[in-house]
Amino acid sequence: MTIETNVLVIGGDGEFGQFLRHDIFPSLGITNLSIIERSTPRDEQASLLEGARHVVLTTPLAGFAERACELIYQCRSLTNPTTLWLIPSVQAGVWRAVSATLELVANPWLSAVFLHPMYGPNGFRETEPEARTFQNVLTATHSGAEHSLDKEVAQVSDCFLTKFNITTTTRFNPDDHDRVTAYSQGLSYCVAQLMFARPEIDAALRREMPDLHHSFTANHDLIIDFLRINSYMPQVLAAFAESWRQTNQASFDDVVCAFARADHSLNRGTESPISTKWYEKLREIGAVLQTVESR
Query: What confidence tier does 291 reach under pLDDT thresholds 50, 70, 90?
Result: low
The C-alpha atoms of residue 130 and residue 147 are separated, in whole angstroms, by 34
Q: DSSP E strands: which ranges in 58-127?
A: 82-86, 110-117
Question: pLDDT value at position 86?
Answer: 98
Percent above pLDDT 90 for the chain = 81
Q: Which residues pair with 110 in a beta bridge?
A: 82
**Binning pLDDT at 50, 70 and 90, where does residue 176 land?**
very high
Q: Quick check: 52 and 5 in contact, CB under 8 A? A: no
Over the stretch 208-233, which tens digit does the pLDDT of each residue have?
999 999 999 999 999 999 999 999 99
C-alpha 79 chain-centroid distance: 30
Strand partners, 56: 9, 85
User: Residue 155: CA atoms inside 13 Å, Cβ hemisphere, count?
Assistant: 12
On whether the CB atoms of residues 259 and 240 are closer than 8 A, the answer is yes
Q: Each residue of 24-68: pLDDT tens digit? A: 999 888 888 999 998 899 899 999 999 999 999 999 999 999 999
**Is a pLDDT exceeding 50 seen at residue 189?**
yes
Q: Tell me the C-alpha distance between 164 and 160, whole Å.
A: 5
Name residues whose C-beta falls within 8 Å of residue 149's C-beta, 6 or more positions apart in sequence: 83, 111, 113, 141, 143
Which residues make beta-bridge pairs with 167? Answer: 135
- Kindly report the average pLDDT of the chain as a whole number: 92
Q: Which domains does the chain have, with CATH numbers?
A: 7-170 (3.40.50.720), 179-294 (no CATH)
Q: Using CA atoms, how far apart are residues 238 and 262, in angstroms rounded to an integer?
A: 9
